């Protein structure tokens, strides 16, 4: 690609936004299935049904497109989970969130892993910009979980001194590790075991006596 004087501007028309979205969605799908290294710009172009010049109109380079995919995957996960997490009213509701996570993995027999976890595994060591974006994504995800635990503190389900920040990291790690193992083992056993263990710990340590 030629050197550009400035990064592409955000599309100002509805059609432009739709084209940009179509490129991101196609790239996200290809990168999820084949990794970033295994996803070429021509493959994105063909999958999105756009021209190469349209891709380069909206994205400076592959790193720029990859950052847009990270933002897209983060938004997808959070828009699915945050409403559920923000209104947690008890341990049963936490278990319902766990079921949503497990069911999603089970539907694809564990294949694919977590879109963000897979991107992080591929990119974090060699691409500092992507690593920063992924660290921020994981932070946003753990903050959404933390919001759920804090809602449970607020409504009296969990003790006020419950360490919601640490427990939200434990739950997110259980999700990530469970999905790594599901991808290799094609079962959700480890995902369920890890989430159940952390939720049991939350339940037994933090729930106010009845």
Q: Does 122 bind a copy of itself (CB under 8 A)?
A: yes
Stretch that binds a copy of itself, among 13-21, 54-62, 95-103, 176-184 (CB under 8 A): 176-184
**Shortest distance in whole angstroms from residue 198 CB to a copy of itself:** 5
Which residues, 5 to 34, sit near a copy of itself by CB under 8 A? 33-34
Q: Does 206 bind a copy of itself (CB under 8 A)?
A: no
Q: Does 208 bind a copy of itself (CB under 8 A)?
A: no
Helix/strand/coil (H/E/C) assignment for every residue in the chain: CCCCCCCCCCCCCHHHHHHHHHHHHHHHHHHHHHCCCCCCHHHHHHHHCCCHHHHHHHCCCHHHHHHHHHHHHHHHHHHHHHHHHHCCCCHHHHHHHHHHHHHHHHHCCCCCCCHHHHHHHHHCCCCHHHHHHHHHHHHHHHHHHHHHHHHHHHCCCECCCCCHHHHHHHHHHHHHHHHHHHHHHCCCHHHHHHHHHHHHHHHHHHECCC
Q: Contact with a copy of itself (CB under 8 A): which of 138, 148, 152, 162?
A: 138
18 vs 111 by CB, closer to a copy of itself = 111
Q: Does 190 bind a copy of itself (CB under 8 A)?
A: yes
Chain residues in the site for a copy of itself (CB under 8 A):
33-35, 37-38, 111-113, 117-118, 120-122, 124-126, 131, 134-135, 138-139, 142, 166-167, 169-170, 172-181, 183-186, 189-191, 193-194, 196-198, 200-202, 204-205
């Amino acid at each position: 690609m030629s050197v550009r004087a400035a990064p592409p501007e955000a599309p100002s028309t509805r059609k432009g936004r739709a084209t940009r979205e179509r490129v991101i969605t196609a790239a996200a799908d290809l990168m999820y299935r084949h990794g970033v290294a295994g996803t070429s710009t021509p493959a994105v172009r063909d999958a999105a049904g756009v021209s190469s010049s349209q891709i380069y109109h909206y994205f400076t380079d592959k790193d720029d497109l990859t950052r847009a995919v990270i933002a897209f995957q983060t938004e997808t996960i959070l828009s699915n989970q945050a409403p559920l997490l923000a209104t947690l009213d008890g341990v049963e509701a936490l278990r319902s969130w766990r079921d949503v996570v497990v069911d999603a993995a089970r539907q694809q027999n564990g294949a694919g892993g977590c879109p963000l976890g897979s991107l992080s595994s591929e990119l974090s060591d060699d691409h500092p910009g992507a690593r920063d974006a992924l660290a921020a994504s994981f932070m946003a995800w753990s903050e959404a979980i933390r919001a759920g635990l804090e809602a449970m503190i607020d409504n009296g389900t969990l003790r006020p001194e419950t360490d919601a920040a640490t427990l939200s990291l434990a739950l997110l790690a259980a999700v990530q590790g469970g999905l790594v193992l599901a991808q290799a083992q094609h079962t959700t056993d480890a995902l369920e075991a890890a989430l159940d263990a952390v939720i049991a710990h939350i339940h037994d340590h933090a729930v106010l006596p009845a």
